[in-house]
Amino acid sequence: MSLHGGNPWAAYQGFINDRSVKKKQLSSGTVKRVMTYATEFRVYIFVYLSLLVFDSLLVVAAPLLFRRIVDTAIPNKDSGMVINMSLLIAGTAILGAALGLISRRMSSTIGEGLIFNMRTQVFDHVQQQSIAFFTRAQTGALISRLNNDVMGAQRAFTSTLGGVVGNLISLVVVAATMFILSWQITVASLLMLPLFMIPARWMGSRLQTMTRQQADYNSAMSTQMAERFNVSGALLMKIFGTPQRESQMFSEKADAVRIMGIRISMANTVFFTAIVLVGSLATALVYGMGGVSVINGTLTLGTLLALSALLGRLYGPITALANVRVDIMTSLVSFERVFEVLDLQPMVTDKANAVDLMRGGISVEFDHVNFRYPSAQEVSLASLEMVAQPESRSTSELILHDVSFSAAPGELIALVGPSGAGKSTITALISRLYDASSGAVKLDGADVRDLTQESLHSVVGVVMQDAHMYHDTIRANLVYANTQATEAQIWQACASAQIAEMIRELPEGLDTVVGDRGHRLSGGEKQRLAIARLLLKAPDVVVLDEATAHLDSENEAAVQSALAVALRGRTSIVVAHRLSTIRQADQILVIDDGAIVQRGTHEELLAQGGLYADLHQRQFVDATTP
């Protein structure tokens, strides 16, 4: 028993697909939106469907030619007719193979083209999301949308569309031909169909459950490997000395996958054994009824052979079409999950009339800025979060309260205060990772919301407390900030960042791979490399968010020397953990509970007393206490 289009697994896939998708309510307009993706491939789709129609008509050609040979050519001893019919059978087979290859090419072109378009569209759209989106969305769930759901969606235009059209035409042609040859045998064959459908549906339900469980077990096993085999996970495992415990945990997960694999293998064997058994019983029925009819002279031997050949092409399309709604809904649900991501609008976008920020001396101004973090509903999707918890705080709670200050071109403004006071939030608004809830953040007198993000990011450079490095070479991580940088400019930036000598001592130099998240570098080396990357970008405004907070004295001294070069002549906003590093700031802003509670120079603030003096006294005591 075969299925149309050379895909003998179509009926099997239909039976094990999750049948609950039939109950899912699709959003209005989903089907219409899906069809827009077919526009680019309409010529290929038309050719593909035309080939399927022609191929379906060839299904009955060979059995009818067999019939002609047996009933006419052989009794008449017409060797010429035998040869001609045999050549026609061979020609039909060759033509069918050629059509199969061409239709497969059409199907691949449509499917892979659709995958490419949707993947790039989703990737580009996700890149535009605000940083708030990435703080909530699970990376694995996003990757699943780019892989599994996109591939599920493309099946709508390949296997599902082709299967429906091809199987429908094939079923009509084969059933009509068999009915003409012998309606009695055809009806008897169809009456046997429940013998296949009922156990197949029962087994398909069990396979569906086991397949879902196997996916869950594989996911748990893969998650453990992903978490333990990155640098941070492996380091934690080594520090706490838990390899045996990890091996036991992994062994239990792998054993669950093994047991489920055996159960699925046996269920598959039973499923396909049932298919073969029912096909054999149907063949026995055809030969039994047909043989008696041939003996009685009511049926020719050639007709019997033709009916037997056509029988195998009858059950396949019927069983595949019996699950067509599940197949179609599965593809549409995949489309809808992709659309769900595409319909999530980024919180930070360019205005239609946004202008470019010109390079040069840039001032920074906060004008009565209030800010609250967006809620989960505003920035994320519950389906992209492994555990979607209710908001732990009110979304109306302000994080920043009426923050106002200004930094003239070339000035250094330092932000100090206790942890959680809102210092990093202020720096995030400068580079427009978030937008102010009210008030305005201005660069060179222009509201950042009126500027293009591309020009804004070319002007503002940021070094975070934990500078991220991609798993690539030092050179690749440096030129990420400036792809046009020359070799001389790279080395000059490294020299200014106090890291050139270290790089020269490495066997591979700039082509040394830094490892996952830069873990092959020390904290100080990674920070200096981040500063070199900043210098290659050559921004007009520099934002430092506690860039030396977790460094030892030696590394801090090297990084401070590098920062002195990086900040020279640039407008700088620096979040400081150690007050000793910002004594020379033009203005120090003391932040507490989201508001500026003090401002002035180092000497002025010490003279005022208050929070700054307390912080300074506390650090002084900590530094002098053995």
pLDDT given for residue 4 in this prediction:
40
What pLDDT score was predicted for residue 1? 38
- In DSSP notation, 9-26 reads THHHHHHHS-GGGGGPPP
In this structure, of 93-102, 139-148, 516-525, 583-592, the range with the lowest mean pLDDT score is 139-148
- Using the predicted structure, report yes or no on whether residue 507 has a pLDDT greater than 80: yes
pLDDT digits (tens, 9 = 90+) for 16-73: 555 555 566 666 777 788 888 888 888 888 888 888 888 878 888 888 888 888 888 8
Continuous segment of H or E residues that includes residue 241: none
Tell me: do 86 and 169 sit in the same domain. Answer: yes
pLDDT of residue 368: 94
Instruction: Please state the φ and ψ torsions of residue 439, each to the nearest 5 degrees.
Output: 80, -165
Report DSSP state, residue 449: G
Whether 121 is in a domain gets the answer yes
Dump pLDDT digits (tens) for 230-253.
777 777 777 777 778 888 888 988
**Is 514 a member of any domain?**
no
**pLDDT given at position 24:** 63
| pLDDT at residue 475 greater than cutoff 70 | yes
Residue 6 in any domain: the answer is: no
Give me the helices (H) in 241-343, please: 243-296, 301-322, 324-342
The verdict on 64 and 158 lying in the same domain is yes
CA atoms within 13 Å, Cβ hemisphere of 528: 27
Last residue of a domain, one of 344, 375, 400: 344
Full DSSP string of 570-605 = SEEEEE-SSGGGGTT-SEEEEEETTEEEEEE-HHHH
Rounded to 5 degrees, φ, ψ at 510 are -65, -15
Domain of 216? 183-298
> Within this chain, do residues 131 and 222 fall inside the same structural domain, yes or no?
no
Quick one: pLDDT band at residue 568, thresholds 50, 70, 90?
confident
Would you say residue 497 lies in a domain? no
**Tokens 């008509």, located at residue:** 57
Same domain flag for 37 and 133 = yes
Task: Please answer whether residues 241 and 287 qualify as being in contact, where contact means their C-beta atoms are separated by less than 8 angstroms.
Answer: no
Distance of CA 33 to the CA centre of its chain: 20
Query: Does residue 305 carry a pLDDT above 50?
Result: yes
Q: Report pLDDT digits (tens) over 112-139.
A: 888 888 888 888 888 888 888 888 777 7
285 phi and psi angles, rounded to 5 deg = -60, -45
**Mapping DSSP to helix (H, G, I), strand (E, B) and coil, where does residue 404 land?**
strand
pLDDT (0 to 100) of residue 6: 39
For 16, 465, 469, the CA distances from 363, given in Å and listed in that order, are 63, 24, 29
Rg of the chain over CA atoms, in angstroms?
Answer: 35
Write out the two tokens for 524.
């100080």
Final residue before a domain boundary, out of 279, 298, 317: 298
- List, as own/partner pairs, every contact residues 596-599 make where C-beta atoms lie below 8 angstroms and the sequence separation is at least 24, other chains included: 596/403, 596/404, 596/405, 599/405
Which range in 126-130, 135-139, 314-318, 330-334 is most confidently predicted, on average pLDDT?
Answer: 126-130
Longest C-alpha distance within the chain, in Å? 122
Alpha carbon 96 to its chain centroid, in Å, reads 38
pLDDT over 70 at 9, yes or no: no
Instruction: Based on the fold, state whether residues 413 and 529 are members of the same structural domain.
Output: yes
Same domain for 187 and 126: no
Q: How far apart, in Å, do the first and last CA atoms of the chain sit?
A: 85
**What pLDDT is stored for residue 396 in this prediction?**
62
Residues 456 and 599 occupy one common structural domain: yes
In this predicted structure, the answer to whether residue 488 has a pLDDT above a threshold of 90 is yes
Mean pLDDT of 347-363: 89
What CATH number is given to the structural domain containing 612? 3.40.50.300
Distance CA 597, CA 608 (A): 12
Residue carrying the six token digits 């998708």:
21
| Nearest one of 448, 162, 495 to 327, comparing CA atoms | 162
Average pLDDT of the chain is 82
**How remote is the C-alpha of 147 from its chain's centroid?**
5
317 and 174 Cβ atoms separated by less than 8 Å: yes
How many structural domains does the chain have? Answer: 3
Q: Which residue among 311, 344, 377 closes a domain?
A: 344
Average pLDDT over residues 137-148: 75
> Is the residue at 431 inside a domain?
yes
Structure-block tokens of residue 621: 């005591």
**Does residue 146 have a pLDDT over 80?**
no
Question: Per-residue confidence at 14, pLDDT binned at 50, 70, 90?
Answer: low
Rounded Cα–Cα distance for residues 252 and 266 (Å): 21
Q: Are residues 207 and 107 in the same domain?
A: no
* The pLDDT value given to residue 460: 92
Q: How far out from the chain centre does Cα 526 lie?
A: 29
Question: Chain-centre distance of CA 71, in angstroms?
Answer: 60
Q: What is the pLDDT of residue 569?
A: 85
Please tell me whether residues 333 and 266 are part of one structural domain: no
Say if CB 33 and CB 64 are below 8 A apart: no
CA distances to 363, 464, 541 from 366, in Å: 10, 21, 14
447 confidence band (pLDDT: 50, 70, 90): very high
Residue 42's CATH number: 1.20.1560.10
d(CA 514, CA 536): 18
Strand order in the sheet with 438-443: 400-407, 364-371, 438-443, 446-447
User: Under DSSP, is residue 535 helix (H, G, I), strand (E, B) or coil?
Assistant: helix
How do 446-447 and 438-443 pair as beta strands?
A: antiparallel
- Residues 193, 336 within the same domain: no
pLDDT at 102 over 70: yes
Confidence check: pLDDT of 405 > 70: yes
Q: Classify 413 as helix, strand or coil.
A: strand
Confidence of residue 105 (pLDDT cuts 50, 70, 90): confident
* Percent of residues, the chain, with pLDDT higher than 90: 17
Identify whether 613 is part of a domain. yes
- Which tokens go with 415? 């932000």
Let me know: does 145 contact 338? Beta carbons within 8 Å: yes
pLDDT confidence bin for 435, thresholds 50/70/90: very high
215 and 175 within one domain: no
Buried b (16+ CB within 10 A) or exposed e, 444-464: bebbbbebebebbbbbbbbbb
What gap in Å lies between CA 291 and CA 295, rounded to an integer? Answer: 6
What are 597-626's pLDDT values in tens digits? 999 998 998 998 888 888 888 876 554 444
- The reply to whether 157 falls in a domain is yes
Domain membership of residue 486 (yes or no) is: no
Q: Do 257 and 190 fall within a single domain?
A: yes
Identify whether the C-beta of residue 588 lies closer than 8 Å to the C-beta of residue 575: no
| Residues 314 and 178 sit within 8 Å (Cβ to Cβ) | yes
